[in-house]
Amino acid sequence: MAGSRHRFALRAVLFAAMVCAAGVYVWSARPWEAKPVVVTIEDVQQGPAREILAVNGQIVPDDEVHLGAPVAGQVVEVRGKAGDTVTTGQLLARLDDTIARAALVQAEAQLEATRIEAAAAQSAYDRATALAGTVSGQARDSAKFTLEAAAARVRQLTAALDQARRQLDLYRITSPIDGTVLQVNAELGEVVGTASILFTIGDLAAPLVEADVDEVYGARITGGLAARVAPVGSADAMPAHVTFVAPIVDPDTGGRTLRLGFDTPPEVLLPRGLTMSVNIVVETFDAAITVPRTAVRDLEAAPYVFLDVDGEALKTPVGLRRWPADRLIVTDGLAPGDRLITNPQAITPGAAVVPAPDG
């Protein structure tokens, strides 16, 4: 019986100790009090800044032509292959020119026969002139008329021969520029029409970068602006500049086309269609305050940020230059030395804040 009372007393003491410890823990933790939010801090500074428009573009040749068939016919020879380097006038393909070649031979024969007739008429006229005292005037006039008719016939057939030669040339598809064969659609034995595109030739020695810019930002893009371009995924950016800005906005896409030229030709051949990252320097500032885009709340309507002022989150309206960039230029509302909270997503005005150990 005494042992039972002893165990009961011991349990009571242990329970009282546990209750006391729990009370001390709760009191020290003070769960009814809001804990400071851990935030990252950036000291606001003023310095040089740039507004850069970042878009993607594609490599296009400086000069690109699409070659079709001047006449309908069957492809009997294809010489040009994709990737070939070609020169002006180089033969790329030939259509069946049997009929045109026969017409040329006929024109040559007709001209030759008429020249012989003209030579005979010239001899007859020369004799009539030499025998002016014994030949009637009517005979001389007749010889002169025959000579003039033969000469006219020679001129007519000479023009016909030139036309036949030009017609024959239409069956030869040649390159109009120095460049690279980008695409070949001609197939041996295929019958093509005048609407067919057989070859695409481009000058890749001096390529351009073509991009579309949203009309919201395109109005600020002008010729001559400096830029940096690089193949997507590459860190080897090359200096470039805007060479062309389309005078119209595409009503279907809302985009404005622009082209950029390289300041110096690329050391390697960049294939047509290669995707390029483009960073155009739209405007530079000698001294400006910038903040991370993620630090701004209600960006589109009434933008504001939070500052750490003596451990309290102070809601601060700001003026901004709205631009598609990771950092935005602040026009008013901040001053150098302000402590900007860069992760305000869970912050409410007046909340207690404490900087992160490394912030």
Domain boundaries, the chain: 36-62+214-359, 64-94+174-202, 97-170
| CA 169 centroid distance within chain | 36
Predicted TM-score (pTM) of the model is 0.66
**Residue 241 pLDDT class (50, 70, 90 cuts):** very high
Mean pLDDT to the nearest integer, 330-340: 96
pLDDT at residue 275 tops 50: yes
pLDDT at residue 61 tops 70: yes
Indicate the average pLDDT of the chain: 89
What pLDDT sits at residue 29?
Answer: 45
pLDDT at residue 132 tops 80: no
* CB 263, CB 239: distance < 8 Å: yes
Cross-strand pairs, 228: 239, 279
**Residue 294 pLDDT class (50, 70, 90 cuts):** very high
Q: What architecture is domain 36-62+214-359?
A: Beta Barrel (2.40)
3-state secondary structure of 50: strand
pLDDT at residue 26 tops 60: no
Domains 36-62+214-359 and 64-94+174-202 share a fold: no
- As a whole number of angstroms, the longest Cα–Cα distance in the chain is 181
pLDDT at residue 111 tops 60: yes
Quickly name the fold that domain 64-94+174-202 has: OB fold (Dihydrolipoamide Acetyltransferase, E2P) (2.40.50)
For 183-187, the CB contacts below 8 A with 24+ separation are 183/82, 184/78, 184/80, 184/81, 184/82, 186/75, 186/78, 186/80, 186/92, 186/93, 187/75, 187/78
Tokens describing residue 270: 């960049």
Task: Kindly state the helix (H) or strand (E) to which residue 163 belongs, with its residue range.
Answer: helix 137-169
